[in-house]
C-alpha cells in the first residue's frame, strides 16, 4: 500500500504547551470559575496545585510563539479534569473551565489559524477518571449502573479512594484515579471514535495519543485513523510510543510517534559525561551511556531503517517533554551540550518539537519540576533564544532540511557529519562533540561549493567535489548554498 502522511507536518516546527504553566490571561472579564485562588506563578510546581495558565493567555502570546518560527502547537490535555495536567478526563466534549472553557479554546483556535499555526490536542483514550460521568455513575449506583461494561469491574464494593481496600476495578498502572475503559464494549469504543471526529470537525489539526500501546483491541486504531481522516485527510495522528513503534507505523494507524529513539542518542552524543544520571535512570529514553560519533551513527542509521521514509518525515522529534526532565537540566545546564543537541534536533528528518521554555533556558528536573511556569522576560537566556530562532529560520529556509534524504558522511572520533539532499540541493551538518578541534575531509560530494550557513567552523573547497571542514571543539556547523 502507498503510505500517506500529512504534508504540512513535514514542514512544521512544533511548540509543546502544558496549559496550566504557560501564561495567565490579562483579560479582566473572567468567568467566575476562573476567579479562584491559585498558587503563586513563580512558586515551585506541585503535583496537585494549579498555577492558572489558560488558553486566552496562550492566545495573547501568539506573537511570541510566531516569532520563534513555530507553526504548530501541541497541547497536553485541555478537557475538563480535576488535575493540573488534565490526564484525568471528566468530559471529552468540554474544555476545562479553568482554561477558559470552550470560548477561550475557540478564540485561540481561530487566532492560531489566522497565523497559519496548526493546533494538535492530546487524546487520553485508554482511561478516564473517577469524575468521568459514566464511571461516577457506577460509584453512585453500583451494580445497577447501566455503564458497568464500559469499564473493567472486578468485584464489589468498589473502593475509588481508600488505598487500604482493593479497588476492584482496573486502573492504569493500578492507579485507582484512572479507571481503564473496556475497549471491547461497542458503546465505549464508539464514544472515543466520536470524540476523535468531533474535535477535528471543530477545526483541530490532529491528535497526540496518550499511551496508545495500552489499547490492544484489534482494529481500534485503524478505525480511529479511518474516521479521523474521513473528516480531514490532513489531520495528524501521533502516538506516544517510546520504543520501536513499527507495529503502529504501518500506514494504517499513526502518522508518527514521539521520537524518543532520537532523543536518547542525540543527548548521549552531544552531552556525554554532562548527563545528570539521577534524572534519566528511571525513564525510558536512555540518553546514556555516552556515545562517540560511530555509536551515534549506528543508532541513527538503525532508527532510519525502522520505518518507511514517508513516516520518518512526520515523526515528532524532541529533547524535552512533560514526561521527562528538561534537556537543560539533563545536560547539567551545559549550554554547549544543549546547543549541539538542538542543532541535531532542527536538522533531523521529521518535525522538531520544542517544549515551552526550553528556548529561553528553563530548567526542570523530574515531574513535577519539569512543569515549571514560563519565566518572565528578565529571566530569559537571550543567547539560547536567538540560537533557537536562527536554527528554526534555517530549517524553514532550506527545503532539504525538511524533506531531503539523509546520509551519514563521516563518523570519526567525536565528530559526526551528515547530509540532507533534495533534488540538486545539499545541506551538510557537522557536529564536533569532542574536546579538540578537528578537520574532516569530504570527497565525492554532490556539491562543488557551499558556505557556512550556521555555526562555527570553516570550509575549504579543494576542487573535484572535495571539501575540508575545520570544526572547533564542542561546536557545530551547517554548510550549504544560501
Q: What does DSSP assign to residue 103?
A: H
User: Over the stretch 194-212, which tens digit does the pLDDT of each residue have?
Assistant: 999 999 999 999 999 999 9
| Domain final position from 339, 374, 397 | 397
pLDDT at 359: 98
**Residue 217 grid cell:** 483491541
DSSP labels for 195-245?
Answer: HHHHHHHTT--EEEESSGGG---TTHHHHHHHHHHHH-TT-EEEE---S--
pLDDT at 161: 97
Q: Is residue 313 part of a domain?
A: yes
Q: Can you list the positions of beta strands (E) in 275-357?
A: 316-318, 351-355
Active site residue 448: no
Q: Is residue 364 part of a domain?
A: yes
The one-digit pLDDT tens for each residue of the chain (482 residues) are 799 999 999 999 999 999 999 999 999 999 999 999 999 999 999 999 999 999 999 999 999 999 999 999 999 999 999 999 999 999 999 999 999 999 999 999 999 999 999 999 999 999 999 999 999 999 999 999 999 999 999 999 999 999 999 999 999 999 999 999 999 999 999 999 999 999 999 999 999 999 999 999 999 999 999 999 999 999 999 999 999 999 999 999 999 999 999 999 999 999 999 999 999 999 999 999 999 999 999 999 999 999 999 999 999 999 999 999 999 999 999 999 999 999 999 999 999 999 999 999 999 999 999 999 999 999 999 999 999 999 999 999 999 999 999 999 999 999 999 999 999 999 999 999 999 999 999 998 888 888 999 999 999 999 888 999 999 999 999 999 87
Is 362 in the same domain as 406? no
Distance CA 5, CA 234 (A): 7
Is 355 in the same domain as 476? no
Catalytic residue among 20, 96, 122, 210: 210
Is 393 in the same domain as 406? no
Distance CA 147, CA 131 (A): 14
**Residue 94 grid cell:** 468540554
CATH code assigned at 419: 2.60.40.1180
Active site residue 334: no
User: Over the stretch 113-162, which tens digit does the pLDDT of each residue have?
Assistant: 999 999 999 999 999 999 999 999 999 999 999 999 999 999 999 999 99
Is 410 in the same domain as 334? no
Q: Is residue 175 part of a domain?
A: no
Domain that holds residue 392: 7-126+181-397
> For the chain, how many structural domains are there in total?
2
Catalytic residue among 20, 240, 255, 323: 240
Q: Which residues make Cβ contacts (< 8 Å) with residue 173, sequence separation at least 6?
A: none
Is 382 in the same domain as 407? no
Q: Is residue 258 part of a domain?
A: yes
The continuous run of DSSP H or E covering 476 comes out as strand 475-480
Q: Can you list the positions of beta strands (E) in 375-472?
A: 405-412, 415-422, 425-432, 438-442, 451-455, 458-463, 466-471
Distance CA 389, CA 292 (A): 28
Strand partners, 256: 238
Q: Is residue 173 part of a domain?
A: no
Reduced to 3 states (helix: H, G, I; strand: E, B; else coil), residue 463 is strand
Is 445 in the same domain as 319? no
Q: Specify whether the CB–CB gap between 284 and 260 falls below 8 A.
A: yes
Q: Is residue 131 part of a domain?
A: no
Instruction: Give 157: exposed, middle or buried? Use CB within 10 Å, 0-12, 13-18, 19+.
Output: exposed
Is 437 in the same domain as 474? yes
Amino acid at each position: 500500500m502507498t503510505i500517506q502522511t500529512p504534508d504540512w507536518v513535514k514542514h512544521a516546527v512544533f511548540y509543546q504547551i502544558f496549559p496550566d504553566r504557560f501564561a495567565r490571561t490579562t483579560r479582566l472579564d473572567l468567568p467566575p470559575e476562573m476567579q479562584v485562588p491559585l498558587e503563586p506563578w513563580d512558586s515551585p510546581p506541585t503535583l496537585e496545585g494549579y498555577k492558572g495558565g489558560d488558553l486566552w493567555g496562550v492566545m495573547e502570546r501568539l506573537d511570541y510563539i510566531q516569532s520563534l518560527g513555530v507553526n504548530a502547537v501541541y497541547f497536553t490535555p485541555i478537557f475538563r479534569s480535576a488535575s493540573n495536567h488534565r490526564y484525568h478526563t471528566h468530559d471529552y466534549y468540554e474544555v476545562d473551565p479553568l482554561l477558559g472553557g470552550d470560548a477561550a479554546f475557540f478564540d485561540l483556535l481561530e487566532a492560531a489559524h489566522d497565523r497559519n499555526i496548526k493546533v494538535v490536542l492530546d487524546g487520553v483514550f485508554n482511561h478516564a477518571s473517577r469524575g468521568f460521568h459514566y464511571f461516577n455513575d457506577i460509584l453512585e449506583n453500583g451494580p445497577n449502573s447501566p455503564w458497568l461494561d464500559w469499564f473493567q469491574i472486578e468485584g464489589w464494593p468498589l473502593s475509588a479512594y481508600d488505598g487500604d481496600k482493593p479497588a476492584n476495578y482496573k486502573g492504569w498502572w493500578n492507579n485507582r484515579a484512572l479507571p481503564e475503559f473496556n475497549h471491547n464494549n461497542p458503546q465505549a469504543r464508539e464514544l472515543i471514535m466520536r470524540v476523535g471526529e468531533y474535535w477535528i470537525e471543530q477545526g483541530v489539526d490532529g491528535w497526540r495519543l496518550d499511551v496508545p500501546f495500552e489499547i490492544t483491541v484489534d482494529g481500534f486504531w485503524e478505525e480511529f485513523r479511518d474516521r479521523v481522516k474521513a473528516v480531514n485527510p490532513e489531520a495528524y495522528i501521533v502516538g506516544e510510543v517510546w520504543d520501536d513503534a513499527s507495529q503502529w507505523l504501518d500506514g494504517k494507524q499513526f502518522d508518527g510517534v514521539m521520537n524518543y529513539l532520537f532523543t536518547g542518542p542525540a543527548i548521549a552524543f552531544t552531552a556525554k559525561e554532562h548527563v545528570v544520571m539521577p534524572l534519566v535512570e528511571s525513564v525510558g529514553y536512555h540518553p546514556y551511556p555516552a556515545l562517540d560519533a560511530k555509536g551515534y551513527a549506528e543508532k541513527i542509521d538503525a532508527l532510519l531503517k525502522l520505518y518507511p521514509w514517508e513516516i520518518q518525515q512526520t515523526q515528532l522529534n524532541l529533547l524535552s517533554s512533560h514526561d521527562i526532565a528538561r534537556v537543560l537540566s539533563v545536560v547539567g545546564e551545559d549550554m554547549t551540550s544543549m546547543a549541539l543537541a538542538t542543532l541535531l534536533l532542527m536538522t533531523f528528518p521529521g518535525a522538531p518539537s520544542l517544549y515551552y521554555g526550553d528556548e529561553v533556558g528553563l530548567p526542570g528536573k523530574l515531574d513535577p519540576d519539569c512543569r515549571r511556569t514560563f519565566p518572565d522576560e528578565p529571566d530569559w537566556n537571550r543567547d539560547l533564544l536567538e540560537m533557537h530562532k536562527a536554527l528554526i529560520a534555517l530549517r524553514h529556509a532550506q527545503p532539504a532540511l525538511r524533506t531531503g534524504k539523509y546520509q551519514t558522511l563521516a563518523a570519526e572520533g567525536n565528530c559526526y557529519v551528515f547530509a540532507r539532499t533534495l533534488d540538486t540541493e545539499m545541506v551538510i551538518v557537522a557536529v564536533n562533540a569532542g574536546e579538540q578541534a578537528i578537520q574532516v575531509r569530504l570527497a565525492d560530494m554532490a556539491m562543488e561549493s557551499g558556505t557556512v550557513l550556521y555555526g562555527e567552523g570553516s570550509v575549504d573547497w579543494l576542487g573535484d567535489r572535495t571539501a575540508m571542514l575545520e570544526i572547533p571543539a564542542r561546536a557545530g556547523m551547517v554548510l550549504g548554498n544560501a
